Structure 1
């Protein structure tokens, strides 16, 4: 599983009190995912359904689009 590359015990651990750095590390963990919605919450970043990618339908779920 690609998301398991940064894991505690096997691949290391990243700790920070800096929110901006935490977002970057989470994006690396998630292979470049643009949407940062917290678990159990939808569209808190307001990017998830406001994105047009090529010929995909408008409103395509951006949570699973990687850049």
Structure 2
């Protein structure tokens, strides 16, 4: 199953406020302008993985504050 044409957005739930956009991908490419500043240059989505049906998001430099509930 090819996932490249889907709209994919990973968000981190925040208590009492709007969720942070960790990574967003649509129209066949990453939409980094929507990404929260705290996650800039830390996320990666493998386009070849999407073509094979794998929508795993890689997060570099994981910090304690990254812990929490993530929404997909």
**TM superposition score normalised by structure 2:** 0.22
Q: Relative contact order, CA 8 A, sep 6+: which one is greater?
A: 2
Larger Rg: 1
Task: Write 1 or 2 for the structure with the bigger share of strand.
Answer: 2
The structure where helix makes up a greater share of residues is: 1
